[in-house]
Structure formats: C-alpha cells, structure tokens
C-alpha cells in the first residue's frame, strides 16, 4: 500500500469571464475547496477511488453553480436531460446513463449500472425503469431548473440555435462548458474517473455528448491513467479523446501533464476542438490541459495541499 493519494475535480472549461451569471470566482473557489477536502478525507480513510469520484461528482451535481444535476442547462423543450458515466481502473468496469430526467444524482445511477446490471450504458426510458427498480432518488423538475438557466434557454430559443453552457449569443467565441468530473488515485494504487453533465443548451433530438461515452468523456485504467473531459462533446467523441490520452501513456510512457497536453494538441489539430481534461496517471501524478481560454479545476497531488485554477 502506498502512502499517497491524489484527486482532481473540474467544473467545466470555457471563457470564464462570464461566470457571474451563476456565481462569483469566490463562490467557485469555496465550492471546489469544500469538495476537494471532502474527497481528501475519504481517500485518507482508505476509501476506494471509485467511491471517491462518485462522491465528489455527486456533490458537484448538487451544487447549482455547475451544468450537472441541479442547475443543468435546458433542452429544446425547456427540460433538464442529463448524461453521466463512471469507470473503475482496476478491471475497466464501467457504468453510464444518457438522456435521463429527474434523477437527483445521475452519477450514482451510472454507478448502479456498473454494479447491478450486466450492461455498460442505459438510456432514456429504460434507464429510468432501471432507476425505479433500484429505488433511486427522483426529484421534481423545479429542483433541477434554476432561474439563470431559464434565461439562458430563452436567449438560445430566441436566437434559434443550440448553445454551449454560457456561450454568449452576442460574442460567439465566449463559451463555457459547465460539465463536472473527478479522477482519483487511492491508497491501494487504484484509479477511477467520473463525468456528469446536462449537455448543451437547447439540445435537440435526444442529443447525447461525450460525457457518458466510455473512452470519449471518461476513461480509467490502473496501468495508464484516469481522465475526465469537458468541452464540445461532438469533438471529444470523434477523437475518442480520453482513451487517446490513455494510449499516449500506454505507448509512450508519458506522465499525466504531458499526456493531457498531447491529448489537447491532438484535439485541436484534428478537429479544432474546444475543451479541457483532468488526468491522474498510475503514479498519482496530476495533469490538466485545455484549448479554451479557461477551465475550472482543483487538485491534490500525492496527499499535498489543494490547488485551484478558476479562470
């Protein structure tokens, strides 16, 4: 057993000059710090990485500052429709849900898919039936829908377009992707990753992004790394970015910071991708990269102090 644990969490990437709509930098700092320290406590007590990423992501989902769980963006019907996935680096076990509604913590439903079903991914109506079978907590629409999201949705509807979280209609390049995620390395040396999102504003036709797609928005393998992504989902799906970062480590023995950088360079070179990733490698080293002007994330490397980036 090693003495070290590491933890990373993120609250989305983008142009964060416009985050005031949801909260101040101080609000994000407090939220990130509180969640990282709760994760640290669990890791210090010997909790498995899988439990810790589920716990941290469920706290991020409960916080309306982010585009996941409560505070998710609205789809074309003005509803919240969420996606989430979780992966265990020990045995590559994975669980994922897409197009679900009214589930308080989508990441815990994804964990149940991993644990209790013989499948990896459940969607829509079937996923809701599975949730009912296991008595998963459901809440009414008004728990999820917050004032600032209604305004954002009305702007997108008026402009007749699909928007990314906090894309500014007047200034096209200003975008914020408020998806959340966590990666952890526990005292036993196991890695895990989790990602959860409301997707993009005014999304249509049952659109699903990268967040619940294993290998695109989330990946974990004890031999390489744990990855959680945020950004323009279609671009992460087309580049299978989380798995690509794992492959960089597998084939080139890169450390987490270099692998994160290589992944973002590939995303930009291939599809001019916009977004970011958090990565912990099999030695517990932390790395992050983003092609957007900013990204909200925090980390604890090898049991040290917690650090943040909020712009």
Give the integer Cα–Cα distance in Å for 198 and 36.
22
**Site for ligand ASP contains 261 (CB under 6 A):** no
- State the alpha helices, DSSP H only, in 159-272: 233-239, 241-252, 256-271
Give the integer Cα–Cα distance in Å for 228 and 211.
8
Annotated catalytic residues are 179
Rank residues 67 and 190 by Cβ distance to ligand ASP and give the closer one.
67
**Site for ligand ASP contains 81 (CB under 6 A):** no
What is the closest distance, in whole angstroms, from the C-beta atom of residue 233 to ligand ASP in the complex? 2
Give the integer Cα–Cα distance in Å for 249 and 17.
33
Rank residues 48 and 217 by Cβ distance to ligand ASP and give the closer one.
217
What is the closest distance, in whole angstroms, from the C-beta atom of residue 296 to ligand ASP in the complex? 11
User: C-alpha dihedral over 182, 14, 97, 6, to 10 degrees?
Assistant: -10
Selected binder of ligand ASP within 6, 31, 67, 72 (CB under 6 A): 67
* Contact assessment for residue 129 and residue 97, using Cβ atoms and an 8 Å cutoff: no
**Site for ligand ASP contains 152 (CB under 6 A):** no
Helix then strand count (H, E) for the chain reads 9, 13
| Cβ count near 116 (within 10 Å) | 12
What character string, x for contact with ligand ASP (CB under 6 A) and - otherwise, covers 20-39?
A: --------------------
Give the integer Cα–Cα distance in Å for 244 and 299.
22
Rank residues 200 and 256 by Cβ distance to ligand ASP and give the closer one.
200
Task: Identify the CA nearest to 273 among candidates 153, 164, 168, 192.
Answer: 164
* Contact assessment for residue 73 and residue 200, using Cβ atoms and an 8 Å cutoff: yes
**Site for ligand ASP contains 106 (CB under 6 A):** no
Per the listing, tokens 């700092």 go with 29
What is the closest distance, in whole angstroms, from the C-beta atom of residue 186 to ligand ASP in the complex? 26
What is the closest distance, in whole angstroms, from the C-beta atom of residue 66 to ligand ASP in the complex? 9
Segment interacting with ligand ASP, rule: CB under 6 A, options 90-98, 141-149, 196-204, 238-246: 196-204
Rank residues 177 and 297 by Cβ distance to ligand ASP and give the closer one.
177
Per the listing, tokens 């710090």 go with 33
User: Rounded to 5 degrees, what are φ and ψ at 129?
Assistant: -65, -40
**Site for ligand ASP contains 178 (CB under 6 A):** yes
Per the listing, tokens 């928005």 go with 217
**Site for ligand ASP contains 210 (CB under 6 A):** yes
User: Using CB under 6 A, which residues numbered 231 to 250 contact ligand ASP?
Assistant: 231, 233
Can you say whether the dihedral through the CA atoms of 135, 140, 141, 146 is positive or negative? Answer: negative
Segment interacting with ligand ASP, rule: CB under 6 A, options 34-42, 120-128, 210-218, 286-294: 210-218
**Site for ligand ASP contains 211 (CB under 6 A):** yes
| Cβ count near 28 (within 10 Å) | 23
**Site for ligand ASP contains 200 (CB under 6 A):** yes
What is the closest distance, in whole angstroms, from the C-beta atom of residue 216 to ligand ASP in the complex? 9
**Site for ligand ASP contains 179 (CB under 6 A):** yes
DSSP, collapsed to helix, strand or coil, labels residue 111 as helix
**Site for ligand ASP contains 165 (CB under 6 A):** yes
Applying CB under 6 A, which residues contact ligand ASP?
Answer: 12, 67, 165, 177-179, 197, 199-200, 209-211, 217, 230-231, 233
């Amino acid at each position: 057993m090693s003495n070290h644990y590491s933890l990373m969490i993120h609250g989305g990437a983008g142009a964060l000059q416009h985050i005031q709509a949801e909260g101040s930098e101080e609000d994000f700092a407090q939220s990130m710090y509180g969640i990282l320290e709760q994760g640290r406590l669990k890791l210090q007590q010997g909790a498995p990485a899988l439990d810790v990423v589920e716990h941290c992501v469920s706290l991020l989902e409960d916080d309306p500052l982010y585009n996941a769980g409560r505070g998710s963006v609205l789809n074309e019907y003005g509803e919240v429709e969420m996606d989430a996935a979780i992966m265990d680096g020990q045995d590559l076990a994975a669980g994922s849900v897409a197009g679900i509604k009214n589930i308080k913590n989508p990441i815990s439903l994804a964990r149940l898919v991993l644990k209790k079903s013989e499948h990896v991914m459940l969607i829509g109506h079937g996923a809701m039936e599975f949730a009912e079978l296991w008595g998963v907590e459901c809440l009414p629409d008004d728990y999820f829908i917050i004032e600032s999201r209604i305004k954002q949705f009305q702007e997108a509807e008026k402009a007749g377009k699909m928007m990314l979280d906090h894309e500014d209609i007047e200034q096209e390049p200003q975008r914020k992707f408020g998806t959340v995620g966590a990666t952890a390395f526990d005292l036993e040396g196991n890695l895990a990753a989790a990602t959860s999102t409301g997707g993009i504003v005014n999304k249509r036709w049952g659109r699903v992004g990268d967040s619940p797609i294993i290998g695109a928005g989330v990946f974990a393998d004890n031999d390489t790394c744990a990855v959680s992504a945020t950004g323009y989902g279609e671009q992460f799906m087309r580049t299978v970015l989380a798995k690509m970062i794992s492959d960089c480590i597998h084939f080139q023995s890169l450390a987490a910071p270099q692998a994160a950088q290589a992944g973002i360079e590939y995303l930009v070179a291939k599809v001019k991708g916009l977004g970011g990733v958090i990565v912990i490698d099999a030695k517990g080293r932390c790395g992050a990269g983003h092609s957007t002007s900013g990204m909200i994330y925090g980390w604890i490397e090898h049991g040290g102090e917690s650090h943040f980036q909020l712009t």
